[in-house]
Structure 1
Amino acid sequence: MDTRQLLTDAVQRVGQGVHRLVQGADEALLSYRPDPDANTVAWLVWHLTRGQDAQIADVYGLEQVWTSGGWSKRFGLPFSQGATGYGQSSDEVAAVRVDPQLLLGYYDATQDVTLARIAATSDADLDRVVDTRWDPPVTLGVRLISIIDDDVKHLGQAEYVKGLAQRAGS
């Protein structure tokens, strides 16, 4: 197994998890909050997708799927087009109320771009520095692992919230 196969497998596992989580969910489950400031399943999936989309676009010099695919307009969220969820308020989290198929469509479109870029990435490419604001500077390989790590954490959080929602009868 080579590096591309490992990265591809990790990204595909996140996608499978997103589909298991969202498939068949209704808006009540997706917007459930165990307390007034908790993140929702919808927000967590939107946020993990926005993070992946923004970072993949940045390191590969692409336009984000959020804008190039018209997802920003379809979601119609009441905050800036560039928002990824980082640092958002409780009210902004609550504003992410979307149809499950829309959420999955955006995730799938983002995953398609991510997987295409990974397929075109050589092992030598992984050593390319993509962010000099850190010490040591961040390479493409480290950034890809960071994206996957962040996605896995948010997916786990969303699965936990879904379980709480189901126990509460949502």
Structure 2
Amino acid sequence: MNVADLLTDSFGRVAAGIPAVLEGLDETQLGLRVDGEANSIAWLVWHLTRVQDHHVADAFGGNQIWTSEGWAERFGLDLPVEDTGYGHGPAEVAAVRASGQLLAGYHAVVAERTLSLVGGLVDDDLDRVVDERWDPPVTLGVRLVSVIDDDTKHLGQAELVRGLLPG
């Protein structure tokens, strides 16, 4: 297994889990917050997708699909267009309402782009610095592992919330 295979497998597992966590749920169920303030499935899937979109676009020097392909308008959220969900409190979490079809569609497009980009990587690519605002500077490898970590944590949280839904 090479680095491209490893990253493709990792991001592919997240992409495969998204439809399953959304399947058969309506917008009310997707927006349910188990304690009134917890993250909803809709917020978790939207956030993990926004972070992946933002970070992958930045790391590879491209545009975010959220803005460049009209997904921000399709969602119509009452949030700043550049928002990814970092630092959201209860009010911002509540503002993320969407259908499963919309959430799955956005994630599918982001995942497709991500898989296309990581599928061509070689070991040396991972050492390229993509963010100098940190000490030490962040490499492509560190950034991609961070996105995978964030994605898998939030997908697992969404799966937990789904398991707690009534009915």
Contact 2:43–2:93 (CA under 8 A) maintained in structure 1:
yes
Q: Which moved more, 1:28-37 or 1:145-154?
A: 28-37
Query: Quick one: distance in 2 between partners of 1:121 and 1:3?
Result: 7
Q: TM-score if structure 1 supplies the norm length?
A: 0.94
Query: Quick one: distance in 2 between partners of 1:34 and 1:24?
Result: 18
Q: Superposed, which structure 2 residues align to 1:141-160 within 5 Å?
A: 141-160=141-160
Query: Quick one: distance in 2 between partners of 1:86 and 1:135?
Result: 20
Query: Quick one: distance in 2 between partners of 1:69 and 1:109?
Result: 10
Q: Which amino acid aligns with 1:110?
A: V
Q: Which residue of 1 aligns with 2:164?
A: 164
Q: Superposed, which structure 2 residues align to 1:94-133 within 5 Å?
A: 94-133=94-133
Q: Which residue of 2 aligns with 1:58?
A: 58
Query: Quick one: distance in 1 between partners of 2:2 and 2:122?
Result: 10
After TM superposition, what 4+ stretches of structure 1 lie above 3 angstroms from structure 2? none
Q: TM-score if structure 2 supplies the norm length?
A: 0.96
Contact 2:3–2:121 (CA under 8 A) maintained in structure 1:
no
Q: Which amino acid aligns with 1:111?
A: A
**What stretches of structure 1 of length at least 5 have no aligned partner?**
none
Aligned-CA RMSD value? 1.0
1:116-161 C-alpha deviation (Å, 9 max, x unpaired) = 1112322211110112233322110111111001000000111111
Q: What is the deviation of 1:92?
A: 1.5
Q: Which amino acid aligns with 1:12?
A: G
Q: Which moved more, 1:27-36 or 1:100-109?
A: 27-36
